[in-house]
Amino acid sequence: MTERSPDNDDLQASSWAAPARPERVSPWQRLFGARGSGPRWGRPQHRIVSDDFRYRLDAMLIPQATTDRALGEVQRINDWVGAWNRAAQRFLAESRRDDQHGDWMRSAAARRNAAMCYHVANLLSDDDPRTIRTLRASSVQAFSQAIPKLLFETRKVQLRWRTRELQAYLCKPEDAERPMPLVCLLNGATTTKEELLLWTAPLCDAGYAVMTLDWPGTGEAAGNLKLSSQCDDITDGIYALAVNDLDLDQNHIALLGVSIGSSVALRAAAVDRRIGAVIAVSPPFEPRFWASNVPPQAARHLVALAGQAASLPFALQDFGVSDLLHRIKCPVMVVGAGQDQLIPSSESMHVAASLGDLATLIWYEQSAHCAYDQIPDWMDVAAQWLFGAFGFEEAIEEEIPIVESTQVESPVTPVAEVPVEVEAQPQSSSTPEPEPVAEAPIVAASPVGEDVVISVDPAAIRQDPQSEPPPTNDREGKE
């Protein structure tokens, strides 16, 4: 992460162009490796896929040995599904063995890894709808069986959206203070709620409740719903869940969007003033200028997800946010990557520049799309940034010295003794000893009274008529 974002002049337009056509090689070169790189089976495996994709696999918690073995079995694109399907089957067999030995924790971890292998197999599938549905269903089922044993505070919930129900995972840290602010994660076109749930440890450790959601056209909602950004009204279901759950703070809700999911988050914030903050990771600004330069394999997969779309530019035409950013009134944190080959990195800078003072740009010069290699870092930055966006930092600074003074003076308890000593003065006027004690209420009564009230109810600071009321979210957009 750098302290300043790169200038537009530093970006090369050729980096967004279609990849060059491969050179024609002889059969001898195919056998022993082109350009003197050695035989195919002896080449380093990081040449098969990019390092950025490996970082994404690491974020899925897939063991390194499994990644090396699966990628070693991939010699052409048609080998991808079979290699990762076999890896998933090995994890399922390992899970059954651990169940027989009574090691349920290792069994659950192996089943989670199987779910992620099924998910990886779906990333480069053959676009057959039956194959996509089978891999997705296997991943969802295996993950739902494993996650209750690995994250005890996580449960699967359903959100009402128009006439349908959207599937989501809700994680509420047990040791967090109630009610908890809620952060809702919106996945991208190829990510799912299961994958994003594995990223959220920094948010949970900071005391936030986390919900990962498959918005319409993604994950479990991709089977019968077309990929579209016109679903900003999913916030109604999010707020309905927060209102009915006493552990959640309906006044402090943030949206975190990944890739094109950040477009949905920004659109929701533009029309719903109840949103307190937005985090946009590799957001698109105007896809019509670069959608035709997306790598062909990624374009095919996105078009398949989009349903009846004829091309990728047509599928992404309504994901632009250039015409609605001026309507956003909440703070926005933008995460940009300097080596993004899917969505140009300049898109993140355009989003931040259009938002002006409301935007905070976090820039990773050497990272690719979504900064998969820096997920723990920008998740931790997001957790700290949300404290300021929600106005929690000022409240913490005011409460810390007051709590310390309460702890020091609480064992003394002078409030009950002072009135007795003051009333004793007229009965024994000949003794001059109580006279210095009469000044004690003037010094001790005011701070002790304030400390007792604040230690019992920290919210009393904001209810004090002499103090300023806390900022509240404007809900006129929905009402």
Distance of alpha carbon 15 from alpha carbon 13, whole angstroms: 5
In the prediction, which pLDDT does 47 show? 52
Lowest mean pLDDT across 262-271, 290-299, 447-456, 461-470: 447-456
| Whether the predicted pLDDT of 276 surpasses 50 | yes
Contact partners, residue 181, CB within 8 Å, separation at least 6: 207, 208, 209, 249, 252, 253, 254, 276, 386, 390
Q: What are the pLDDT digits (tens) for 229-271?
A: 889 899 999 999 999 999 999 999 999 999 999 999 999 999 9
Residue 78 has pLDDT above 90, yes or no: no
CA distance 387 to 405: 24
Q: What is the pLDDT of residue 174?
A: 85
Q: What is the pTM of this model?
A: 0.72
Radius of gyration of the CA atoms of the chain, in A:
28
